[in-house]
Every structure is written in C-alpha cells, then in structure tokens.
Amino acid sequence: MNKIRFSTLCLVGTGWLLALFAGAPAQQRPPAGKSQPGKSQPAEGLSQVGEAVSPPRTTKDAKAKAPPAASETIAQFPTKDAMRTAWKVRWTTANGFGLVVQGAWFKKGPAEPWFQILGDARLSEMFVPYHSGSPRFWDVSYNFSLIHLTPRDAGPFGHLVGTPPVVCREIRDRGIAWVDGTEGSRRGETMVLWSCLNAANYRYLIEYGFQDDGTITFRVGSTGRNYGSREFEGHMHNGLWRVDVNLGGPDHNSAYVMEHLERPGEAAAATTVHRPFHRGREGHEDWDPLKFTMVSVRHAFMKNARGQPIAYDFVTPRMGNARHFGSDEECTQHDFWVTRNRKDEIYYQKLPEYVKNRESIKNSDVVVWLSTAGHHEPRSEDGEMKKDTFTGVTPVMWCGFDLKPRDFWDRSPLYP
C-alpha cells in the first residue's frame, strides 16, 4: 500500500508524490506506526427510512462529535411473493470504519415480532504488514473516507444511498438454499449493504449480507493498486472485526466454543464438545482446523421448541491463521477474543488491554472479535510495469465469515 510519510508530504506536495509513485488517485496515509457472490435481482421488498451519511471527521475531533444519525433499511423475503421473513437493519458511516451496522432485527414470519440479533458490528481494523518487516499499516486508524459510488459501481440492480452516495444496497440471488427429494429445491435471497473505503492506493469493499434464512455474512474485499516500489512484495490483509451479538437484546448472552474431536484409539469414533469460551472469562481462543473450531453466542434462557438454547455461530472459511510479532501486534496472535460490551471499546489493537481484568462473559452483553486474514502474494494479474510506471489493478481478494443461526428456528427455515 502506498503510504507516504507526512514530513515528505509537506515538503514535496501531494500531487508530485502521486505522479511519482503512480498510485490510484486518493488521499495519502499518515506515518505508519502505533495507532489506535451471487447474481443480483431487482431490489424489490426494500424500504429505506431516514437515509443519512456521516459528515467527514478527523482524528482530532473524532471523539468530540456525536455519532451521525443512523439509516434504517427493511427487506422482506421473498421479494416476489408473500412475505415470509424480513430484516430490519440500522446502519451508519464513519471515516476509518466505513460502513457500520448499529443494530439488526429479524422477523421469522408475518405475525412474528422483530427479534434482535446484532448491536454494533464493524470492521474494527485492517492490518497490512509487509514481508520485509516494514511498512506495517493499521488502515482503519488513518480515518480514510468512503468513495463516492456511481451507477456503474451499483450495476443494474443496486440502489445508491446518500448525497453524495457512499453506500449501495441490493437484493441478490444467493443460489440454491436447499434441495429435497419430495419438495424439490428453493433458491435463497440476501439483502446486501456495501461501501468502499478510499485507502490511498487501495480500496476496501466492506459488505454485510442479510439472508432470508436469518444468516448474516461479513466480507471485506481488498482491491486497488499495489504499493509503490513494493509492487511485487508479499503482504497480509488482516480484516479484524468487532461484533456485538445481542440475541433478544443486549443482556443474557454467553460465549461458547464448539469443537469436533476424533477419539484416539477408537476407530471411526468422534465427538463434539461444547464448552464456555476461555472458561467463561474475557480472553482469547484459537481456531484449530483439526477441531473445526466455532465460537457460538447463546441466550441464557430463551429456547426453541426442542428445548435447545437459541444461538448464533461464527463460521469462518479461512486461508489460514495470521500471527504477527511486531510492536503492539499482540492482538493478532489469537483468532477469537470475547469481551463484555463497554462504551468506546472499539479498537482491535487495544484488545490485550480490554481483557486484562478477565471479567465474566456469562449471561451478559458480549462482543466477539475475530480475525479474517488474507495472504496477498502479488502476481502478474495484479498489474505490470510500463516505462517504470506500475499500471493495472489487483482483483478483489475476499475475507470474512458467516453468522449462522443455531436452534433459532424450530424447523428447517423456508421449508417447503
């Protein structure tokens, strides 16, 4: 990524530097260091209330200003038939964090009440360390703004939001939801909200998908132009998330770990273990591919018809586990963290400080923090050198996770 030291910027000017490094047109980063798919369908079934885009803010006045007004979007499914399920999502935008969910509620049927699933959910940080050891960028901390989207960005089915528009919402066909021997098959739908962070030579697509079956998808996509003078040096893009799960409201939630264990010495035998996260205290856990590790948030006393506690699972398709050992990078040395929800604790790099008191995370308001890391080893498809100028664009590399209902339903959703 093309971050330029502030002292150099003052001496030679932004325009000259942009020409020199041939980066994509965008603002430049301050000094690096310690700091805080599917085919689209017409967007029927969407309603929008109080659309608002946050005004620009700087690091200096970030804490002084009240948060911008939230927008509310309601999507009903299926979009071309009688309503069976629906989402109500409140969201806002902020420099640095980009697109932020402030609350999400799901309706399991026309006569069912709205049931809260999320409080605040956001991309808390985007950490980009280069293989040579420097630079090491914490991109959210630089307070980049969102790009202004165009009809070309939105495509034929996207709806641009705001003046100027910085958020796009759309209904997408998510493919086959299930296939049954007697009832045939059903295709699923999702309502997606997305925006694009203008991170100097890079662009980060921040995307939240709200599916008709109650699943929520979280994605961050890295694209743009490789860092000037390091166009072919390997590096990481660590999407670091903060998710306040509020099942039925902000209280009475607990975090658990679910693991698949083979039984040594017992042929063809295995078991599943459910245990409190970090012994029921604030702290961290790691993802083990041999155990299919999942973190789950359960409601303390709400149960479904089978007597199972209502829960949501964090399901993480992964390239691998990132581990970084530079200064103030302890937060990257574990894959999951859980804390109690406390005001203003929104910075991933401060996690070791947030968990130091080891408070209880049982029957409380819990926040799950998790790493979704991508390794970018540059390739010819990212661009080429022409007369000492790098031209081209890096295709999007996606990282993320799904938040899936467990025992939230009494039966298969949307069946038949």
The proportion of the chain whose per-residue pLDDT surpasses 70, expressed as a percent, equals: 84
Cβ partners under 8 Å of residue 263, min gap 6: 269, 270, 271
Backbone phi, then psi, for 63, in 5-degree steps? Answer: -85, -20
Provide the pLDDT for residue 68: 63
Report pTM: 0.85
Residue (of 110, 111, 69) closest to 91 by Cα position:
69
Q: What are the extents of the domains in the chain?
A: 6-406
Provide the pLDDT for residue 67: 52
Provide the pLDDT for residue 29: 53
Give the 3-state secondary structure of residue 16. Answer: helix
pLDDT single digits (tens) 320-352:
888 888 888 998 999 999 999 998 999 999 999
Q: DSSP strand E in 226-315: where? A: 235-245, 253-262, 270-276, 283-285, 294-303, 309-315
Give the 3-state secondary structure of residue 8. Answer: helix
pLDDT band at residue 49 using 50, 70 and 90 as cut-offs: very low
Of the candidate ranges 40-54, 111-125, 133-147, 197-211, the one whose mean pLDDT is the lowest: 40-54
Q: Which residue has the higher pLDDT, 224 or 354?
A: 354
* CATH entry 2.60.40.10 includes domain 6-406: no
pLDDT single digits (tens) 257-304:
999 999 888 878 899 999 999 999 999 999 999 899 999 999 999 999
> How many CB atoms are located within 10 Å of the residue 363 CB?
15
